[in-house]
């Protein structure tokens, strides 16, 4: 972590030592990094303000989102046509079965693409 600029007007002369486990230190470092504060600033704010609010900026590529919405619409239309066929008493054919399998495959591929654009299944906050 890069050292932060110190305030010149405020002299803090009291030092407190705190022992943490490796896991506790990792949690502290992550929380400070997410808020953009040094560990000292983060702990000071936590002590004085009781809570720390931070914002996460979400960046989306509108062209990619439009493409995904369009693809979902096409797949939905195909599925509606298949349902209409079966609901009107149509018989199951090999072509219909293949179309159903293709729609399911397309849905899984789109799901994978959406997860990739959203930062993955683990909730990664970094944008791609």
Question: In this predicted structure, what is the pLDDT of residue 88?
Answer: 78
Question: In this predicted structure, what is the pLDDT of residue 124?
Answer: 44
Q: Please report, for the chain, the start and end positions of each structural domain, with discontinuous segments joined by +.
A: 13-55, 62-117
Question: In this predicted structure, what is the pLDDT of residue 4?
Answer: 55
pTM greater than the 0.75 cutoff: no
SS3 letters across the chain: CCCCCCCCCCCCCCCCCCCCCHHHHHHHHHHHHHHCCCHHHHHHHHHHHCCCCCCCCCCCCHHHHHHHHHHHHHHHHHHHHHHHHHHCCCCCCHHHHHHHHHHHHHHHHHHHHHHHHCCCCCCCCCCC
Question: In this predicted structure, what is the pLDDT of residue 122?
Answer: 47
pLDDT digits (tens), the chain, 128 positions = 555 555 556 788 888 888 988 898 888 888 888 888 898 888 888 888 876 666 556 666 777 777 877 887 888 888 788 778 777 776 667 777 787 788 888 888 887 777 776 665 444 444 43
């Amino acid at each position: 972590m890069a050292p932060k600029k110190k305030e010149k007007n405020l002299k803090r002369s009291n030092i407190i030592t705190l022992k943490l486990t490796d896991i506790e230190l990792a949690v502290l470092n992550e929380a400070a990094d997410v808020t953009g504060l040094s560990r000292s600033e983060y702990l000071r704010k936590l002590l004085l303000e009781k809570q720390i609010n931070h914002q996460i900026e979400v960046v989306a590529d509108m062209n990619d989102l439009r493409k995904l919405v369009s693809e979902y619409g096409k797949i939905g239309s195909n599925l509606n046509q298949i349902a209409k066929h079966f609901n009107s008493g149509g018989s199951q054919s090999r072509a219909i079965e293949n179309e159903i399998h293709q729609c399911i495959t397309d849905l899984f591929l789109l799901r994978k693409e959406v997860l990739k654009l959203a930062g993955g299944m683990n909730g990664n906050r970094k944008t791609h």
